[in-house]
Amino acid sequence: MKIERIAPNKIKVTLSVDDLKDWDVSFESLTYNSPEAQDLFWSLIHRAELEAGFYADGSQLVVEAMPVKNDGFVMIITRVEDSEDASPQRYIKPRIKKEAKPRKRARTLSSPLVFEFSSFDDVVEACRSIENRFAGNSSLYKYHSKYYLALYITNDFVADDMDVMLTEYARKERNALVKTGELSEHGVLLVGSNAIESLNAHF
């Protein structure tokens, strides 16, 4: 447990996992002011008086609790001074700041999407229709007089869009991994990468 005075009317309290276990308090219990959380809070205030010279003095206190990476949490306790709304209640239910969730990483689908086209003109028209919606890599093959567009997409939402948009021009291969293997071995690679961008730039 660490108590720091960061302003005349504000302290920062850092509690470790072991501190939480000792007091039988979880981060969630702070959200509904459990008796254990109340006991912990007033113990902190008493220690803050002794260690940091921070006195509640009957003032209204505002508490913000924030989880930290080591499964402990940090509490910022602010004494509201000269407030018309100050009341004898010393402990306000904490305003919980949830730890920001990391953004979901864009990922390349382990299995590409493969679409079969009857003509090259259909491929060109399809590429034009998805020009502003597609994100990822793409390759174009020719095999047995058919054209195959293989898409390696980095976003699940884009994959859903491609399913809807490209099926207007082509037939989606059910087993894309098998098909890409077959195309790599027996087909003719027309555009090895960025096929959609290349076709839109030249046709």
Distance CA 22, CA 186 (A): 67
pLDDT at position 164 is 84
Residue linked to tokens 């809807």: 164
Q: Which residues pair with 15 in a beta bridge?
A: 73
Residue linked to tokens 């109340």: 38
pLDDT at position 88 is 37
pLDDT at position 134 is 85
Q: Could you tell me which of 139, 119, 154, 133 has the C-alpha nearest to residue 187?
A: 139
Q: Which residues pair with 153 in a beta bridge?
A: 136
Distance CA 68, CA 44 (A): 18
pLDDT at position 169 is 94
pLDDT at position 195 is 92
Local confidence pLDDT in tens for the 203 residues of the chain: 888 888 888 888 888 878 877 877 766 666 555 677 777 778 888 888 888 888 876 677 777 777 766 667 777 888 876 544 444 334 444 444 434 343 333 334 446 899 999 999 999 999 999 888 888 889 999 999 999 999 987 666 677 778 888 988 999 998 888 898 899 889 999 998 889 998 988 88
pLDDT at position 61 is 77
pTM of the model: 0.47
Q: What angle do CA 75, 98, 81 make, to 5 degrees?
A: 40
* Domains of the chain in sequence order: 2-96 (3.30.70), 113-202 (3.30.70.1950)
Q: Could you tell me which of 24, 97, 105 has the C-alpha nearest to residue 64?
A: 97
